[in-house]
């Protein structure tokens, strides 16, 4: 039969074991670095230790437990095998909820009134209709496209930026590096849902963030490495930017003494925008395992050349 290796810190992926056993009769599930794991056909991982995947001689498929695969592709020794990621309607819904909440947080001034309420300050702010608020989404893939459409339904003025041309009802779509500045210059609430690749790392730096209009806000749901955090802080302190909801960080968990926790205008959330359940992940791994055994096309295969 088939052997599945779980590469994670001890015990983290154990909830998958029963589901895999139920879905794949006869399967051997082993946790790295047990000897059986080294003989695995399928490796399931988030951020495997460097060289681990290359040391598995029977490996046929690498399966991420996440939507993003940057933590896997960052290892230069990762073997040239099919790499699959998680795509799931519940994750898409969860991300859409997070984007809607973050948008409303700034649009309806919750960032200001939460702070005012702690200080006993009764202050009302002039309200703007959703149609008068420009929300821009970086990345129009599984997650960005769903969030953009929902924002359109709520009446926001929505634009988006992707690598290749896209058409989504009600969304002003930009594509390519040449269009980025024009997209940014008309975005008041910027939501990042890009994959982390060589082309997107450090994209949100002082130069790009300065293109946003004064008073704009950032919602970072993608990866911490997309953002140059010091540049964000400088633009917040200068008053050019209003605030940021940051869900992802270069170092996770964000250390308790990290200054971002206490930076005025920044709200830190713990990489919680969309979390797949172990059941969901295990079911997708099992489906791709069956397809692998039958020689059928795999689901949610990553384009290794693009990096996402």
The binding site for ligand OXD (CB under 6 A) comprises 66-68, 86, 276
For ligand OXD, the closer CB: 29 or 274: 274
Q: Does residue 220 contact residue 227 with C-beta atoms inside 8 Å? A: yes
DSSP string, 271-290: S-SS---HHHHHHHHHHHHH
Which 8-state DSSP code applies to residue 227?
B
Q: Please indicate whether residue 223 is annotated as part of the active site.
A: yes
Among ligand NDP, ligand OXD, none, what does residue 199 contact (CB within 5–8 Å per kind)? Answer: ligand NDP
Among ligand OXD, ligand NDP, none, what does residue 31 contact (CB within 5–8 Å per kind)? Answer: none
Strands in 109-208 per DSSP E? 134-138, 157-162, 171-175, 189-192
The CB-of-236 to ligand OXD minimum distance in angstroms stands at 24
The CB-of-89 to ligand OXD minimum distance in angstroms stands at 14
Binders of ligand NDP in range 59-78 (CB under 6 A)? 67-68
Q: Which of 133, 150, 163, 271 is catalytic?
A: 271
Chain-centroid distance of CA 16 in Å reads 22
The CB-of-45 to ligand NDP minimum distance in angstroms stands at 15
Q: Which of 63, 133, 223, 242 is catalytic?
A: 223
Our finding on whether 107 is near ligand NDP (CB under 6 A) is no
For ligand NDP, the closer CB: 52 or 221: 221
Which 8-state DSSP code applies to residue 254?
P
For ligand OXD, the closer CB: 186 or 287: 287
Instruction: Report the alpha-carbon distance of residue 175 to residue 163 in Å, rounded.
Output: 5
Which of 247, 249, 263, 267 is in the footprint of ligand NDP by CB under 6 A?
247
Among ligand OXD, ligand NDP, none, what does residue 200 contact (CB within 5–8 Å per kind)? Answer: ligand NDP
Torsion (CA) 73, 77, 78, 80 in degrees, nearest 10: 110
The CB-of-68 to ligand OXD minimum distance in angstroms stands at 3
Instruction: Report the alpha-carbon distance of residue 263 to residue 80 in Å, rounded.
Output: 42
Among ligand OXD, ligand NDP, none, what does residue 193 contact (CB within 5–8 Å per kind)? Answer: ligand NDP
Q: Please indicate whether residue 131 is annotated as part of the active site.
A: no
Q: Does residue 254 contact residue 269 with C-beta atoms inside 8 Å? A: no
Residue identified by tokens 């670095």 is: 33
The CB-of-275 to ligand NDP minimum distance in angstroms stands at 6
Q: Does residue 245 contact residue 219 with C-beta atoms inside 8 Å? A: yes
Instruction: Report the alpha-carbon distance of residue 160 to residue 144 in Å, rounded.
Output: 8
Site mask for ligand NDP (CB under 6 A), range 190-229, x = bound: ---xxxxx-xx--------------------xxx------
Site mask for ligand NDP (CB under 6 A), range 155-174, x = bound: ------xxxx-x--------
b (16+ CB within 10 A) / e for 112-144: beeeeeeeeeeeeeeeeebeebbbbbbbbbbbb
Q: Does residue 90 contact residue 276 with C-beta atoms inside 8 Å? A: yes
Report the catalytic residues. 223, 271
Give the binding site for ligand NDP (CB under 6 A). 67-68, 139-144, 161-164, 166, 193-197, 199-200, 221-223, 247-248, 271, 273-274, 308
């Amino acid at each position: 039969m088939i052997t599945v290796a779980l590469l994670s810190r001890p015990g983290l992926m154990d909830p998958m074991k029963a589901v895999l056993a139920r879905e794949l009769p006869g399967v051997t599930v082993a946790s790295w670095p047990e000897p059986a794991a080294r003989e695995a056909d399928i490796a399931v991982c988030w951020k495997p230790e460097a060289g681990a995947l290359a040391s598995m001689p029977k490996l046929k498929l690498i399966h991420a437990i996440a939507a993003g695969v940057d933590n896997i592709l960052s290892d230069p020794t990762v073997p040239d095998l099919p790499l699959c990621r998680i795509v799931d309607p519940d994750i898409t819904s969860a991300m859409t909820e997070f984007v809607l909440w973050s948008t409303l947080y700034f649009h309806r001034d919750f960032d200001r009134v939460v702070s005012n309420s702690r200080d006993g300050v009764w202050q009302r702010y002039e309200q703007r209709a959703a149609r008068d608020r420009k929300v821009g989404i970086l990345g129009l893939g599984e997650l960005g496209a769903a969030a953009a459409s929902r924002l359109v339904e709520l009446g926001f003025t929505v634009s988006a930026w992707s690598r290749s041309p896209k058409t989504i009802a009600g969304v002003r779509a930009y594509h390519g590096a040449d269009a980025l500045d024009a997209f940014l210059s008309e975005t008041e609430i910027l939501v990042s849902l890009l994959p982390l690749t060589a082309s997107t790392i450090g994209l949100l730096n002082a130069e790009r963030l300065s293109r946003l209009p004064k008073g704009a806000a950032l919602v970072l749901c993608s990866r911490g490495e997309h953002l140059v955090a010091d540049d964000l802080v400088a633009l917040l302190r200068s008053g050019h930017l209003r605030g940021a909801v940051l869900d992802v960080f270069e170092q996770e968990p964000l250390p308790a003494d990290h200054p971002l926790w206490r930076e005025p205008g920044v709200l830190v959330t713990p990489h919680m925008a969309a979390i797949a359940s172990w059941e969901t992940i295990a079911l997708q791994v099992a489906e791709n395992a069956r397809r692998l055994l039958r020689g059928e096309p795999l689901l949610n295969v990553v384009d290794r050349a693009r990096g996402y």
